[in-house]
Amino acid sequence: MEELSKEQLDAGKKVLGGVTIFFWVVAALIAVGLFSFNNFGNWAKDFSVGPVSFGLPTSNSTWVFLALYVAALVGLYIRKGWAVPVGRAGLVVAMVIFFPVGTIFGAILWKRINDPVAKAYLNYGAGHETKVEGDGQQPKQPENTQIIPEAKDQADTEDKK
């Protein structure tokens, strides 16, 4: 983990400020929804079609959503690299749950969480880089490969035919 200058830290905080605020708002909305489920009971019944039921999320699944956003916020505050994939998952969940407004905010904030300054701020560089095909490096040949003389002779005779 390399040390960042004060300017780099400030730039990283500035880039991730919108993501942090968005996660706080979504976590608060989910928490209010969770507490309203507990207070009002079973007023929203699921619609069942055979073995599949459709309806509002139950209080059990709402805890999972809330835990996702809390984990993302903790990762952002303590500057851990795992906050990037957890934040991406949080953005995807927000895009689905709060469609279409969540999709708009999610698309805007997706660029911010993938920003190189934000990744440097969260220490998401080492071990998380993806290889780009055709990057100019030759593939390594296995060291113990040998050409069998008989097979080479057979290949040469077949080519001549």
Band (pLDDT 50/70/90 cuts) for residue 154 is low
Whole-angstrom distance, CA of residue 150 vs CA of residue 128: 46
What is the value of pTM for the model shown?
A: 0.65
The answer to whether residue 137 sits within a structural domain is no
Domain range enclosing 16: 6-38+59-121
Q: What whole-number percentage of the chain has pLDDT above 70?
A: 64
3-state secondary structure of 81: coil
Task: Residue 95: name the closest of 105, 80, 81 by CA.
Answer: 105
Q: What is the pLDDT of residues 47-71, one digit of tens each?
A: 667 777 666 666 667 788 889 999 9
The pLDDT of residue 35: 76
Number of folded domains that form the chain: 1
Q: What is the pLDDT of residues 81-125, one digit of tens each?
A: 999 999 999 999 999 988 899 899 999 999 999 999 999 999 887
Whole-angstrom distance, CA of residue 113 vs CA of residue 56: 29
The answer to whether residue 95 sits within a structural domain is yes
The answer to whether residue 142 sits within a structural domain is no
The answer to whether residue 126 sits within a structural domain is no
The answer to whether residue 65 sits within a structural domain is yes
The answer to whether residue 108 sits within a structural domain is yes
What amino acid is encoded at 98 in this protein? F
Whole-angstrom distance, CA of residue 41 vs CA of residue 44: 8
The answer to whether residue 17 sits within a structural domain is yes
The pLDDT of residue 129: 54
The answer to whether residue 154 sits within a structural domain is no
Q: Please, which residues have CB within 8 angstroms of residue 44's CB and are 6 or more apart in sequence? A: 55, 56
